Amino acid sequence: MRASAHYLALMLFVTVLAIWLAAMAIIMRHAALPPEASGLMLAVFEPGTSEDEAFAGLTQAGARVVRPSGLGFIWVVAGDEPGLAGRLTRAGALGAYRDLPISPVIAGCFAVADAKLARLAP
């Protein structure tokens, strides 16, 4: 009896975790800005990207750096010219996000996973 209760608890935990991950993937997909977007946004680079490489990409895209997020691969940037999000992607960012309902740290992790899934899709 005791083993079946542990199994049930484990299966419940796995189910809740899977539902949460799926919901976060959907939220991150819808939070990504279209290429023509401009304004205040988060620019997310591949984890492990040096701050110098990320800053060079931001400069190349014509983004105005507002502040780093505390992680070297996520930056808060701004720009008034249309197309900033697309220029950031072409300059090496995984994506650009605005008004995230979660912290930038979690957003960065999901942006990486979303970008990798997008590369696998035909």
Residue spans per domain, the chain: 2-120
* Contact (CB, 8 A) for 42 and 68: no
CA distance 62 to 16: 42
**Mean pLDDT, range 18-33, rounded to an integer:** 81
Residue type, 120: L
Predicted pLDDT of residue 112? 62
**According to the model, what pLDDT value does residue 37 have?**
92
pLDDT in tens, 93-117: 988 987 554 555 555 566 666 666 6
- On whether the CB atoms of residues 109 and 116 are closer than 8 A, the answer is no
> What is the mean pLDDT of the segment spanning 74-82?
91
Query: Residue 70 in contact with residue 31, Cβ under 8 Å?
Result: no
